[in-house]
Structure 1
Amino acid sequence: MLYRGRGQSDQERGLAARRGVIPAITVHADQAATRMSFDSDTPEDPHDIAVDWVLRKKEGPLTRKEQEALDAWLAADTAHAAAFREAEGLSAEFARLSLRHPAKRASARRRGRPVVAAAAAAVALALLLGDLSIPFVADYSTGAGETRRVTLGDGSHVELGARSAIALHFTPARRRLTLLRGEAWFDVAPDASRPFVVEAAGGSATALGTSFDVALDENGARVTVTEHSVSVASGGAEVVAREGQETSFLRGSSASAPAAANVAKLTAWRRGRLIVEDEALGDVLALLGRYRHGVVYCLRREICARRVTGVYRTDDPTQALADIETALGLSAYRLSNYLILLHE
């Protein structure tokens, strides 16, 4: 069995594409081409687009329009062609390993690293992509290792962490935002007549003249207040967290009682640092995943459960991973830069 670091929930389930922007996306067809045209606020990483194209080609022959779009993208930059070749090579390697080491064999789990790689191959390409619909519903987004500061029309400021996205729903009566994935810090411009509400994981955080951080994970969300206070509603209940406090909630459940927060640690991403204190390796790998392309697996559940403490630079996730491997006495089998298997 392979174990992956806990990934974030990439979006609120059931979000429809915003009216008047693009139609809802339900299949891979044409995604690689259209995402290049509509997500103009944040340039897509060529590797992400390349993997889109590889997956689209696996579904069947490209239409003439799609082929023309692919040819134009490849010709636009040598980096595009290089990324496409790498994505095709990775896909071919996965297919080769899957044929040589069928994952369904009961004895495969005990036959060494190539077999593990074959099992990972079945899902790794999809995990590299994340949720393809997010660029289409987001007003602002970031890629791996990227942060972004945005000034909204009302004068509020938003700092997006790596691999994060928000959608805006402003009306004359209300300023509503949805955190689709990742993490963001909000510095809210006062306007008593228009509440500022951030929705995430089925709950909401309403600013009470404040600045605060909201972070999504696969199960829910955490709200950390850096100034004044925030009203957090989830599961039919409401709590008020004040400066220096945090509260968290699972989807559909009530928020926890506000408690003292290590604000410097929880907002260290704004300073280019990842600070972890006695945290499970799986959780740390999920955080590092925001700053690098690819996926990291643990060969055994016990490996992902091991505890990690350290301060790491977010601009060098490769070194951070190497430091963690050394500290825990682990080794890494690298099928490529996109697929790493940790073992003892």
Structure 2
Amino acid sequence: MPKTEASSDLQQQAIEWILRLDSATCTPEERQAFREWLAQGEDRQRIYRQLADKWRKLDRFKGGDFPVRRQALSYRVPRKRMRRFTELALAACLLLGLGLGTFSEQGWYGHRSHYETERGGRRTVQLADGSRLELSGNTELNLRVNRWRRSVELVKGEAFFSVAHNPQQPFEVKAGNGTIVDIGTQFDVKVQNRQVAVAVVDGAVKVETKGSREINANQVLGYDSQGNFQDSPDSPANLTAWLRGQLVFENRRLDDVLSELERFHDTRLTLADPSLAKLKVSGTFHIGNLDGALNIIVMTLPVNIQRPAPGQALLVRR
């Protein structure tokens, strides 16, 4: 088995490349040498990306003045070596003095990530603590993990959370005008039309908005944009059907159904007559079969489907 380079050696090499590439005197030959160095292994690429990301996050410190930096720059150095020494001192202060662990998931600042999926897409995010996030189609969320807290901001869409419970590092999801706090559980959160629905499959969560409620396994709770709680007729099984490739609706408004279908298909679904929005839909649809879903809607409701342009479907009263 070929011998691999030590992580510490690769970190030092990556720091050197970050400084060299950031220099105004970096030559095309040096940039080509960097690309060749980077292409020699996935470990190099991973470590370089991690440190380069930390370097960008520390931009606001680079012109600052703090004790470690002053001490590093206090030594007498020949003028021709001053610029290089200053760069290395700065790197030592920022990447080593502040600590590479500062931006790890157990550091005081922690680690920030942004995830999103396209219409019809799906993505799984595995956290180091064993927690797992399943993102549905047309979903966007921000994640921050540090020593004291694991926090998700669900900007739009839907996600299913399987959380490794840790009272010393609480897990919370901010969605709409509320926060869902894990109490050791599996739960689904959906943001749609400024409404939020929370479905607990296992365990329990606390939902905090204008008030606070705890919901347990096999329970669903919603709240609106003002933070008012709303009991939901849906079941956790129906709300999490997307994990099984299905969408299940029971007496749901037509406009809500179309909005849900749009998350999984690159087709714009609109109503010619706004009064059609209140029509109710019930049925089980396969996520990957939009035409089948629309055919069921046509057979059960007084509507027809028109195709005015590619990627568009218009529902008109029959």
Structure 2: gaps spanning 5 or more residues = 1-111
**Distance of 1:220 and 1:212 partners within structure 2:** 17
1: CA distance between counterparts of 2:296 and 2:172?
39
Amino acid corresponding to residue 303 of structure 1 in structure 2: L
* Contact 2:234 2:250 survives alignment (8 Å): no
The corresponding residue for 1:194 is 169
Are positions 1:299 and 2:299 aligned together? Answer: no
Whether 2:292 is the aligned partner of 1:340: answer no
* 1:250 maps to which of 224, 232, 255: 224
**CA–CA distance in structure 2, aligned partners of residues 172 and 229 of structure 1:** 23
For residue 151 of structure 1, the aligned residue among 117, 126, 136 is 126
State the identity as a percent. Answer: 29
Deviation at 1:315? Answer: 0.9
Give unpaired runs (5+ residues) of structure 1.
1-136
Work out the CA distance in 2 between the residues paired with 1:319 and 1:138.
37
Deviation sequence 1:272-300 (CA, Å, 0-9, x none): 00111111111110110111113211111
1:190 is paired with a residue whose SS is coil
CA contact (8 A) 1:297 1:340 kept: yes
Query: Equivalents in 1 of 2:248, 2:193: separation in Å?
Result: 20
Structure 2 Cα separation of the partners of residues 162 and 174 of structure 1: 27
| AA matched with 1:143 | E
3-state secondary structure, aligned to 1:336: coil
Contact in 1 for aligned 2:173/2:180 (Cα 8 Å):
yes
State the shift of 1:233 in Å.
Answer: 0.4
- Taking structure 2 as the reference length, what is the TM-score of the superposition? 0.61
Q: Which residue, out of 130, 142, 151, partners 1:167?
A: 142
Alignment of 1:45-60 (within 5 A): none
Given the alignment, which residue of 262, 284, 288 partners 1:315?
A: 288
**Residues 205-233 of structure 1: CA distance to partner in whole angstroms, max 9, x if unpaired?**
00001111000012221111111110100
Match of 1:271 in 2: 244
Once residues 269 and 327 of structure 1 are traced to their aligned partners in structure 2, the CA distance between those partners, rounded to angstroms, is 22
Higher relative contact order (CA 8 A, sep 6+): 1
Residue 188 of structure 2: aligned partner: 213
Tell me which amino acid in the other structure corresponds to 2:267: G
Query: What letter is aligned with 1:252?
Result: Q
Q: Deviations over 1:285-325 (max 9, x none)?
A: 01101111132111112222211111110011122112212
Counterpart of 2:185 in 1: which secondary structure? strand
Residue 57 of structure 2: aligned partner: none
C-alpha deviation, 1:138, in angstroms = 6.6
Give the partner amino acid of 1:284.
V
Segment of structure 1 superposing worse, 294-303 or 200-209: 294-303
1:226 alignment counterpart:
201
The alpha-carbon deviation at position 261 of structure 1 amounts to: 5.3
State the 4+ residue runs in structure 1 displaced beyond 4 angstroms. Answer: none
Q: How much is the aligned-residue C-alpha RMSD, in angstroms?
A: 1.8
- Equivalents in 2 of 1:287, 1:260: separation in Å? 17
* Aligned position for 2:214: 240
Task: Evaluate the alpha carbon distance shift between residue 144 and residue 260 of structure 1 in structure 2; reply closer, same or farther with a 3 A threshold.
Answer: closer
Larger radius of gyration: 2
CA distance in 2, matches of 1:220, 1:261: 14
1:253, 1:324 → 2: CA distance?
32
Q: Number of residues paired by the alignment?
A: 206
Q: 1:333 to 1:138 in 2, by over 3 A?
A: farther
Tell whether the 8 Å contact from 2:155 to 2:175 is kept in structure 1 after alignment. yes
Task: Provide the residue aligned with 1:204 in structure 2.
Answer: 179
TM-score (norm 1): 0.57
Counterpart Cα distance in 2 of 1:240 and 1:139: 28
Q: Could you tell me whether the CA contact under 8 Å between 1:238 and 1:254 is conserved in 2?
A: no
> 1 CA distance for matches of 2:315 and 2:195?
27
| Structure 2 SS opposite 1:149 | strand
Q: Deviations over 1:118-150 (max 9, x none)?
A: xxxxxxxxxxxxxxxxxxx97221111122222
